[in-house]
Amino acid sequence: MAVLSKVIISALIIGFVTEISKRHPTYGGIIAALPLVSLLSLFWMQIQGEKTAQLSQFASGVLTGIPATVY
């Protein structure tokens, strides 16, 4: 049940960004450029009861990977 609700909520967010992009491409691009996946992942990890140390390691990994995505 938890996996299904994660999929549904994630799909709704993606659909929302897609609809905004159709009407306002610039705003859609700005929203799509936000680290939505990282924030959504942290949210789901927190809901699942992951320890703060694991959340911190995940966030550090995300920050380490940012320079690779810039180029």
Q: What is the pLDDT of residue 30?
A: 80
Q: Return the minimum-mean-pLDDT range out of 53-57, 60-64, 66-70.
A: 66-70
User: Sign of the C-alpha dihedral, residues 34, 37, 40, 41?
Assistant: negative
pLDDT per position as a tens digit, 5-61: 888 988 998 898 889 889 988 888 888 777 887 888 888 889 889 999 999 999 998
Domain count, the chain: 2
Let me know whether 4 and 24 are in one domain.
yes
Let me know whether 29 and 41 are in one domain.
no
Let me know whether 25 and 54 are in one domain.
no
Let me know whether 40 and 62 are in one domain.
yes
Domain that holds residue 61: 36-71
Q: Which position has the token pair 């990890």?
A: 45
Residue 71's pLDDT band (cuts 50, 70, 90):
low
Let me know whether 40 and 66 are in one domain.
yes
Query: With contact defined as beta carbons under 8 Å apart, do 56 and 64 qualify?
Result: no
